[in-house]
Structure 1
Amino acid sequence: MSIKVKKPEDSHTIMNELVLPNDTNTLNNLMGGRLLHWMDIAAAISAQKHCNRIVVTASVDNVSFKHPIKLGDVITIEAKVTRSFNTSVEVRLDVWAENIPSGSRAKSNEAYYTFVALDKEGKTVPVPQLEPVTPEEKDLFDGALRRRQLRLILSGKMQPNDALELKALFFKD
């Protein structure tokens, strides 16, 4: 079976949500857990578009909360596969909060999620390769290997000495 090559735009997903009272805390800010839930859905859609398979969340990297999202704001979650590995894909998410009456829009969050593709029996399967096109896509693609190595080190699945891409950042020949 040959593995198809896809472009990042093939997996691009945009999801919008309106922040309602049930989504907020006592300060009328969107609860972080609710946002993570929505981000996981958007990222999973993007990963499934790339893999043409069922995917499951394998990891969530550092989610940065830069700007509060208020009751009544509309959030836009942009998700796109940045790199594929053997059976997994990394997805970058950017979250924007928009207050429609005032016309203000601010970037609120960003994160990287990793998904693993599965067959109907729950076994991992190979995923299509990713071919970055734009300079930004190429930068995200190159950085994905370092992010993956860091995730593997932090989860105890890789020894720091084996993370050659990460070591290259600190030790020049």
Structure 2
Amino acid sequence: MSQAIKQLELRYNNTEDRILLTIATPTHHVMKAWITRRYVKILVPALQGLNPETLKPMVEMPDKAEHEDHDYNLDDEFNEPDNPHYPLGKEPIVLSSLRFMKQDAPMPRLALEPKSGSGIMLNLYPPFVRALQSQLANAILKADWQLDLDPMVGFASSHRLQ
């Protein structure tokens, strides 16, 4: 499912030992997905347009200078909309794979998908990707998964995961 994103939250859940991704759209759609430790290892490089295994470019990321007119403020407290609709179901899906879409387009997309059924489509729009990476890095730090993610794939040294 692909729509504009109004709110985004990534929060580590101790009980599940997973990160809960929650997205709300301006049309009151709410999508929830679990991100596992294994999935983080493929998601982080993919957010930079890189193949998760080889770290070689898979898509041409949009030029940052062209798209700096909109800055995402995704740090506000997440508020579920009134009368929400759950196109993926009320329970979070478990993400297991990803794939690049529209690789040659000016705005490539990343499909976050469960083993079966519908997933979440994200535009690799630089300001949005940076906001998503920031929230993801904070959630990973809280998870204390001791991942060693290379700063070259988008995590600053302050987010180095030991």
* Common fold by TM > 0.5: no
Higher strand proportion: 1
Give the number of the structure whose alpha-carbon radius of gyration is greater: 1
Name the TM-score, length of structure 2 as normaliser.
Answer: 0.30
Higher helix proportion: 1
